[in-house]
Amino acid sequence: MMLPQACRSLAASWLVLAAAACSSAAPPAKVAAADVVDAKTADVPAPVPDVALADAADALAAAADATADALPVAATMVDIPAGTFWMGTVPGDTICDLAPTPTGCDDEIPRHPVQVGAFQIGRTEVTVAQYAACVAAGACTPAKSYGPDSTPDTLGKEQFPINGVTWDQAGAYCAWAGARLPTEAEWERAARGGVEGFMYPWGNALPTCAPGKPNQAVFTYGTEECGKDGPVAVATASAPNAWGLYDMAGNVWEWVADWYDPKYYGSKTETWINPQGAKKTTIRVVRGGSFRDGPFALRASVRGDFAPAFVFDDVGIRCARSVP
């Protein structure tokens, strides 16, 4: 397992694996939890849904013109119906049960019912070309490029998920596209695809790099190394979930709207209705795991916590939009 580099701010994150350089010095990073797996879960069948940037930036802007048909964001969004779902660690989550950290999965419990109104969410993570179009329009500032796994300003990676963006930059892109960042609750409902009681968007089977499998994802663990060279083009190495959403587990983490509080889930007992997250802290939530994470971080209930002002090569964007 790769350890986080010193310049990355995880601010009390125990579940994220390796990180890359950031735009300025960050607070000390915490040690990530080991990815513990139970091979028995690999035999559990997938469930059935119960409901229906400067010089290079110019070049990428030109490429973005060629993909203008994908904008505005509505063209790439999926309708998620209103409904109630169970949010948090599912019963029988063997990976969480075995997490060798003092806190385990405490920030994912208690599991609680959440009612969410209808909304739309991006079918894929926001691409380099899409973000470049926002930069060219003057509505976004260039993402920061650093390290071999960065995608901004990298020709040939126009359809890769954009990374190297702060929380504010992610929000600015979504606003330009006529959308917003999803709430943490919306993100998890979308990731679960209308399916209840499973660890991953596809069920309980551990993620795999094998093409064509319903549990295919971009991650790195043991002999599964499809994420060892960084992120890949969106929707090319990830099976869609029941609602047709790609890369809800792996490829890059995704910024969401909420502030992070490890005790937030225990703050009330009744059904939560369209929750907007914890009171202001200093950390924002990210969801979904990344190319350098293992099975632990790819679970649908995992809550990553990153400092919003810093940029990482494994954190990107997925937008959402309210439905009147």
- What does the pLDDT look like over 197-210, one tens digit per residue? 999 999 999 999 99
The pTM for the full model equals 0.79
**What number is the average pLDDT over the span 79-87?**
97
Whether residue 21 lies inside any domain: the answer is: no
pLDDT at res. 104? 67
Bigger pLDDT: 207 vs 324: 207
**What number is the average pLDDT over the span 232-250?**
96
Whether residue 8 lies inside any domain: the answer is: no
Distance from the Cα of residue 97 to its chain's centroid: 22
pLDDT at res. 324? 80
Whether residue 6 lies inside any domain: the answer is: no
Bigger pLDDT: 41 vs 244: 244
301-313 burial, b for 16+ CB within 10 Å, e for fewer? bbbbbbbbebbbb
Query: Does pLDDT of 16 surpass 70?
Result: no
What is the band of 163 on the pLDDT scale with cuts at 50, 70, 90?
A: very high
Domain span holding position 249: 39-322
Bigger pLDDT: 308 vs 150: 308
Query: Which residue, 85, 72, 232, is CA-closest to 137?
Result: 72
CA–CA distance, 235 with 238 (Å, rounded to integer):
6
pLDDT at res. 54? 41
Whether residue 292 lies inside any domain: the answer is: yes
Whether residue 9 lies inside any domain: the answer is: no
Question: pLDDT digits over 186-195, tens only?
Answer: 999 999 999 9
Q: Is 23 exposed, middle or buried (0-12, 13-18, 19+ CB in 10 A)?
A: middle
Whether residue 62 lies inside any domain: the answer is: yes
First to last CA, the chain: 45
- 126: Cβ contacts below 8 Å, ≥ 6 apart: 161, 162, 173, 316, 317, 318, 319
Asked if 143 and 165 touch (Cβ cutoff 8 Å), the reply is yes
Q: For all residues of the chain together, what is the average pLDDT?
A: 80
Bigger pLDDT: 45 vs 287: 287
Query: Which residue, 253, 231, 246, is CA-closest to 304?
Result: 253
Q: How many domains does the chain have?
A: 1
Whether residue 25 lies inside any domain: the answer is: no
Question: pLDDT digits over 25-82, tens only?
Answer: 333 333 333 333 332 333 333 444 443 334 444 444 444 444 433 444 445 899 999 9
Q: Is 196 exposed, middle or buried (0-12, 13-18, 19+ CB in 10 A)?
A: exposed
Whether residue 189 lies inside any domain: the answer is: yes
Q: What is the CATH number of the domain that holds 137?
A: 3.90.1580.10
- Name residue 273's beta-bridge partners: 115
